Amino acid sequence: MTGRADDLFYTYIQMNIIKNKRPKNLNLLKIRMPVTAVVSILHRVSGIVLFLSIPYILWLLSNSLNSVEGFNYALSIVRSDFGKFISIVLLWAITHHFFAGVRFLLLDMDIAISRYVALKAAWLVQILVVITFVTLVFKVVV
Partner 1 sequence: MSWQASGYRAWFLQRLSAIYIVACLFVVIGFLLFNSISSFYSWQSLFYAPVTNILVLLFFIAIMVHAWVGIRDVILDYVHNAIARVLMLNLLMLFLISMAVWVSYILFTLVKL
Q: Which positions lie near partner 1, rule CB under 8 A?
A: 44, 47-48, 50-51, 54-55, 58, 61-62, 64-65, 67-68, 71-72, 98, 101, 105, 108
Nearer to partner 1, 31 or 105 (CB): 105
Least CB distance from residue 105 to partner 1, whole Å? 7
Least CB distance from residue 6 to partner 1, whole Å? 34
Least CB distance from residue 108 to partner 1, whole Å? 7
- The angle formed by the CA atoms of residues 17, 18 and 24, to the nearest 5 degrees, is 40
> In 10 A of CB 75, how many CB atoms?
14
The answer to whether 90 and 133 have CB atoms below 8 angstroms apart is no
Instruction: Tell me 3's DSSP state.
Output: -
